[in-house]
Amino acid sequence: MLRFETAGESHGECLVATLVGLPAGVPVSLPRVDRELWRRQQGYGRGGRMKIETDHARIVSGVRHSKTIGSPIAILIENKDWKNWTEALPVEDAESSADKRKPLTRPRPGHADLAGSLKYNFHDARYILERASARETTARVAAGALAKAFLAEFGIAVASHVVQVGPAGLECEASWEEIVALGSREEVLLNCVDAGAEQRMKAVVDEAYRTGDTVGGVFEVVAHGAPPGLGSHTTWDNRLDGKLAQAIVSIQAVKGVEIGRAAAGSAAMGSKVQDTIHYDHESRTFTRGANRAGGLEGGMTNGQDVVVRGMLKPISTLRRPLESVDFETREPALAAYERSDVCVVPAAGVIGEAMVALVLASAMLEKFGGDSIDETKSNFKGYVEQVKNF
């Protein structure tokens, strides 16, 4: 099975991802990892920080001659902004550094600032902010790029698109081909398959810029080519829908998750929601009338596209700060302002892809895992054959 962890702070020296459990022999392309990191930095509505950083993954272990070797993989991504923070956030304390600190004592509503300060007993929310920041997701995306490389060996691909920004939504269904095509764009506006809807989304972000406000929205991640039977109905914690939901909601600012067309389904009659089952005698395969279930039934993949949405609240930091209280004086004060994004829905979609890829890669390894990619592939082939001859 696959384990992954991240370390690193928003203005620390670097971000770190470790990935343990990928079999030996998975091809790894650094430009492909960097491309994913680049995609995470794009989208209309990003703040000044993304202009400072050009993320680049440095793999320091577990990959040799462009292939995994079965040992733990460690990836480092440098924070260019660190040079502006070395005195404010030194690893080793020194008396001379006291006046270089940038304490945050007016906690920002919608952030980890207050709850984290109370929990860890800090009177400076800076230490909380540094780790709670979504800069951490850079490491997730790097690890996710390797999970994607593993899945590609089995013909599984993961892509995302934006279906809503504020009140502006995509009003048509997006095909898999349209969603995949977005991933090769060299300029990313709002990562929407429909140009008209994308312009309406852009107008919402422009309005937020004008008024010092922020917006949220909805992204959709689609995984194509997964075999039926990943995850299991047998225990609550093996249900793949639950694992995917946790992975998506763990993304900063994501407050809701939808599998398939859950929201519409909850308002409709059952006869209009379940995906009918059919059989094609020629190809000897089961087919389905639709994919409203988002490729998941009973906590298992059913062979259709896996479709998961993440709902983002509007970004918490506002140029017109909200009411807060100063830690020192306990008097009302406007919340601190840190340079901030206004809309991050396309970037959150890229992070969602990484999280879905990591969950699916883990489920694949649980079912077919071998020490090498060849062993894993032969286990997979045997199962595909079994399903074909069912």
Q: Which residues bind ligand FMN (CB under 6 A)?
A: 47, 110-112, 132-134, 137, 251-253, 315-317, 340-341, 344, 347-348, 351
DSSP bridge pairs for 20: 3
DSSP 236: G
Nearest-approach distance from CB 116 to ligand FMN, in angstroms: 10
Nearest-approach distance from CB 127 to ligand FMN, in angstroms: 14
Nearest-approach distance from CB 183 to ligand FMN, in angstroms: 17
Query: Which C-beta is closer to ligand FMN: that of 68 or that of 317?
Result: 317
Nearest-approach distance from CB 182 to ligand FMN, in angstroms: 17
Nearest-approach distance from CB 339 to ligand FMN, in angstroms: 7
CA angle 48, 246, 56 (to 5 degrees): 35
For residue 45, give Cα distances in angstroms to 48, 108, 123, 347: 10, 20, 32, 10
For residue 94, give Cα distances in angstroms to 13, 88, 99: 18, 11, 10
Residue type, 113: D
Neighbours of 87 (CB within 10 A): 14
Nearest-approach distance from CB 105 to ligand FMN, in angstroms: 17
The rounded distance, in Å, linking the Cα atoms of 86 and 11 is 9
The rounded distance, in Å, linking the Cα atoms of 297 and 265 is 14
Whose structure tokens read 């992975």? 247
Phi-psi bin for 253: left (phi > 0), alpha (psi -120 to 50), beta?
left
